[in-house]
Amino acid sequence: MERPVSYNVNPKPLEKDISIANMPEGHQGEGFFATKLSDVVGLARKNSIWPLPFATSCCGIEFMATMGSHYDLARFGSERVGFSPRQCDLLMVIGTIAKKMGPVVKQVYLQMAEPRWVMAVGACASSGGIFDTYSVLQGIDQVVPVDVYVPGCPPRPEAIIDGVIRIQDLIGKESLRRRNSDKYKQLLESYGIQ
């Protein structure tokens, strides 16, 4: 039976055997290239994300498939999955977070160094999902700020890759001053951080 996948409805032919990130905007001539520092930093950051998977349930199984050779998250510069929050850039919360686990998620987030990003993978991490009950946190955005939400119960590996690409877009375009801005400080203060 044919089981179409909604993500790859438009087949994309392989352009080159090796794909290289696009050059940022800038001026070039004989022997020089001038561009903005933020673009270079963004380019470097977005193609070398170290994810920290906080996998608690079935979405974690989909994430394992995403890391495997078939879907291969390594193609996006994220093959180095770290289990130490101090060295990671991207907190991926994958699965149901019980209320008792909420402070643990927050603790892991606090241990990460700036700049840090958070991705909520799956319905449970995003909103509590089907577990509308006294014991389950109704979305991890109640304890930490979230950058990208990946829908699905559980999301297919394509959806997780889509989320990572959206995180990459955010990272690549982020202003170098954002983390020092008042707006960002207010956001963290609203979560009682710092």
Partner 1 sequence: MLNCYMVKFLTKTIEDLSNLAMLTYERIKQRLIEKFGEQLTAFSEPYGMLTFEAPKEMNLKVLNFLFDDEELKFRFLTDLQAVHYPDDKGRELAVVYHLHNLVDNIRIRFKVFTDITNPDVYTATGLFSGANWMERETYDFYGVKFVGHPNLKRILNVDEMDYFPLRKEFPLEDQSRIDKDDEMFGRG
Of 26 and 103, CB closest to partner 1: 103
CB of 129 to partner 1, least distance (A): 12
Closest distance between partner 1 and the C-beta of residue 135, in Å? 6
Rounded least distance, CB 119 to partner 1, Å: 20
Supply the minimum distance, in Å, between the C-beta of residue 188 and partner 1.
22
C-beta closer to partner 1: residue 77 or 102: 102
CA distances from 142 to 91, 107, 191 (A): 15, 14, 8
Give the separation between CA 54 and CA 192, rounded to whole angstroms.
Answer: 21
Min dist. Cβ of residue 102 to partner 1 (A): 8
Q: How far apart are CA 60 and CA 125, in angstroms?
A: 11
Closest CA to 90 of 116, 63, 123: 116
8 Å CB contact between 110 and 80:
no
Nearer to partner 1, 100 or 179 (CB): 100
Helices (H), 99-156: 102-111, 122-127
Strand segments, DSSP code E, in the chain are: 26-29, 32-35, 51-55, 90-94, 117-121, 148-150
Q: Which is nearer to partner 1, 83 or 134 (CB)?
A: 134
Q: Which residues bind partner 1 (CB under 8 A)?
A: 99-100, 102, 128, 132-136, 138
Q: Which is nearer to partner 1, 102 or 151 (CB)?
A: 102
Shortest distance, position 137 Cβ to partner 1, whole Å: 9
Q: How many CB atoms lie within 10 A of CB 54?
A: 25
Q: Residue 6 gets which letter from DSSP?
A: S
Report residue 19 CA to chain centroid gap: 21
Cβ distance to partner 1 smaller for residue 75 or 100: 100
